[in-house]
Structure 1
């Protein structure tokens, strides 16, 4: 049984927002790197801020992308051992692992927030923004993964990834 109504709409909104954030981050990163390459190769100009911006964008993309991968059930894992277990044992193991993952993500959230608040006063060398905004990627990503882990337990994903085909939206 899959929940309907507001919970389903909230799940859909989170999946679309997180997926689109990953796409935007990837786009920004590609544009910045291409700007660096063209600027250096064609015009002989090196933008001092580009490499740093690309790196920080990649950090945010990785953490938010982790939430998207978790929800689409695409995190890498070894299934060779569980594939031979009965269905009931597999479901039990998945629930235990989901619980352990939730605890780990909660710790990551609180510790990441602690680091961002306590150590985020320094500024980055090129962009001159406080590290707080960079360190915030950890608690934001952990919170996003916790949200996606919750929804994964109660309903199927909106976005389904088929390794044989392209990404497709699940329709009813």
Structure 2
């Protein structure tokens, strides 16, 4: 299971690297063309925007793994250890329900947009709006993979092979 998790995280990371690289190359080429030939690529801004949307949704799960999203820990810090675990378990269940709902809504929205095309690239908006259900699906998988250590110890996965998770305020780990 650990090997599958590593492969999953690696593939997710490489997808983000490829999207960021593509966006940088497109924007860089557009800037170079604009200043060297006084012409620009008509589709560059649109492609960069859609890549940014995909990077946002696809990268949210990786950030969730390390506790990088905004969190208010005042209530958790005020509770005894068992109360903290119960609160974190409720948070995980609530997030799973919300993420699942967003996958459902995202699929419906993407399907409604499948016959409209983008102005410059002329691709169906389905491919743009698919970022939402895909991203929330990735969030579900990432959350399920970190749920046990998060609930039991308040710990998130370490970043870049670090030995231990970053401690959270109040003695919990995160």
Instruction: Flag the 1:149–1:43 CA change in 2: closer, same or farther, 3 A.
Output: same
1:104 and 2:98 correspond? yes
Using the size of structure 1 for normalisation, the TM-score is 0.84
Pair 1:169 & 2:161 matched: yes
CA displacement 1:115-169 (0-9 Å, x = unmatched): 11122211000000000111100110011000001001135899623xxxxxx22
How many residue pairs get matched? 160
Q: State the Cα RMSD in Å.
A: 2.1
Higher helix share: 2
Determine the C-alpha separation between the residues in 2 that align with 1:72 and 1:122.
37
Please report the TM-score for the alignment, with normalisation by the length of structure 2: 0.83
Q: Which of 63, 77, 85 is 2:57 aligned to?
A: 63
Distance 2:8 2:156 in 1: 10
What does residue 31 of structure 2 align with? 37
Partner of 1:160: 158
Where structure 1 has 5 or more consecutive residues not aligned to the other structure, the ranges are: 1-6, 162-167
Taking structure 1 as reference, are residues 155 and 83 closer, same or farther at Cα in structure 2, changes over 3 Å only? closer
Where in structure 2 are the equivalents of 1:1-172 lying within 5 Å?
A: 7-154=1-148, 160-161=158-159, 168-170=160-162
Pick which of 43-52 and 83-92 moved more.
Answer: 83-92
Q: 1:155 to 1:89 in 2, by over 3 A?
A: closer
Partners of 1:33 and 1:160 lie apart in 2 by: 33
Higher RCO (CA-CA < 8 Å; seq separation 6+): 1
Gaps of at least 5 residues in structure 2 are 165-174
